[in-house]
Amino acid sequence: MLLGLLCAALPAHAAEWGLPQLMSGFAAVQESRARFQEEKHLAILSEPLKLSGTLCYVRPDRIEKHITRPYAESMRIKGDQLEWEAQGKTRTLSLRSQPQLWALAESLRATLAGDLAALQKHYTIKLDGTPAQWSMTLEPRYDSLSQFVEQIRMQGANSRLRQVDIVEANGSRSLMKIEEVAN
């Protein structure tokens, strides 16, 4: 009888998991660091561009991407500012002045922050899977964004992001695999 009660309780517990619970798990993470491998398939290139480096997220709104191979480049987002550093030059721009760039940055930042409202502002969201192995598909809510991004698909385990696949409207695609490292 005890086994029957446990089996009956499992589907009810599994049904309690969804987007609010996933976002709550992300919201509890103060900082994360990871290594990444990324393949960019661009229409202008005959071979995919393969990048690797590190990622850093610090609550509430800082994301850093440092490319170490095949060249050195850094991007930092804090608030609405994007700072890009390459070849010894640094450029800064306001993401709010570039709505498509802002929405793309928010797809990752809002996910890592567990900010469901910010994510839903720009995307319709579909979540599949279980807490241990989930996938989330983001599709643009408005035409000015869908002109650039067709779909973003994220995969992970619990409150850890493992993969980000961005399909652009022009046919280009970026697939990033993420491996978390200890802080």
Residue 104 to residue 61: CA distance in whole angstroms: 14
Contact assessment for residue 161 and residue 112, using Cβ atoms and an 8 Å cutoff: yes
Domain boundaries, the chain: 18-181
Residue owning tokens 């990324």 = 38
Closest CA to 57 of 164, 173, 175, 168: 164
CB of 151 closer than 8 Å to CB of 138: yes
Q: What predicted TM-score, i.e. pTM, was given to this entire model?
A: 0.87
Q: What is the pLDDT of residue 99?
A: 79
Q: Could you give the angle at which helices 99-113 and 19-27 cross, rounded to 10 degrees?
A: 80
- Longest C-alpha distance within the chain, in Å? 69
Per-residue pLDDT of the chain (183 residues; tens, 9 = 90+): 333 433 444 444 445 899 999 999 999 999 999 999 999 999 888 899 999 999 999 999 999 999 999 999 999 999 999 999 999 999 999 998 987 788 888 899 999 999 999 999 999 999 999 999 999 999 999 998 899 999 999 999 999 999 999 999 998 999 999 998 876
Cα gap 134→120, rounded to integer Å: 18
Tell how strand 49-58 and strand 62-69 pair up: antiparallel
Helix (H, G, I), strand (E, B) or coil at 29: coil
147: amino acid identity, one letter? Q
User: Is the domain covering 18-181 a CATH 2.50.20.10 domain?
Assistant: yes
- What was the pLDDT predicted at 10? 45
Within 8 A by CB and 6+ apart from 25, the residues are 114, 131, 158, 159
pLDDT of residue 15: 57
**What pLDDT is stored for residue 7 in this prediction?**
41
Report the 3 state secondary structure along 62-112. Answer: EEEEEEEECCCEEEEEECCEEEEEECCEEEEEEHHHCHHHHHHHHHHHHHH
